[in-house]
């Protein structure tokens, strides 16, 4: 599970950066629905996301969840 969270976080960060957004920008865009400190923890793989939160963040980034989900070869052992 740890590797999954790390890869998901890297993918989320890449999408945010690709859009030219800082963590604080995402917090502002979402009216603090995603606080910058929590979003940073997601991106570092320190915190697991629920599917609902992931779906919402992908809506903010205007992407499909499949864009950021790690591939099927990821290590699931925690």
List the structure tokens of 40.
């940073």
Q: Is there a contact between 65 and 26 (Cβ–Cβ < 8 Å)?
A: no
Q: Is there a contact between 6 and 72 (Cβ–Cβ < 8 Å)?
A: no
Q: Which pLDDT value is given to residue 49?
A: 95
Q: Which pLDDT value is given to residue 2?
A: 78
pTM of the prediction?
A: 0.88
Q: Which pLDDT value is given to residue 67?
A: 95
Query: Residue 55 pLDDT more than 70?
Result: yes
List the structure tokens of 42.
């997601």
**Which domains are seen in the chain, by residue range?**
2-64 (1.10.260.40)
């Amino acid at each position: 599970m740890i590797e999954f969270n790390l890869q998901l976080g890297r993918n989320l960060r890449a999408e945010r950066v690709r859009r030219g957004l800082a963590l604080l920008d995402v917090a502002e865009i979402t009216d603090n629905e995603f606080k910058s400190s929590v979003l940073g923890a997601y991106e570092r793989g320190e915190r697991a996301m629920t599917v609902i939160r992931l779906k919402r963040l992908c809506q903010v980034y205007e992407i499909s969840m499949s864009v950021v989900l790690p591939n099927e070869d990821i290590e699931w052992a925690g």
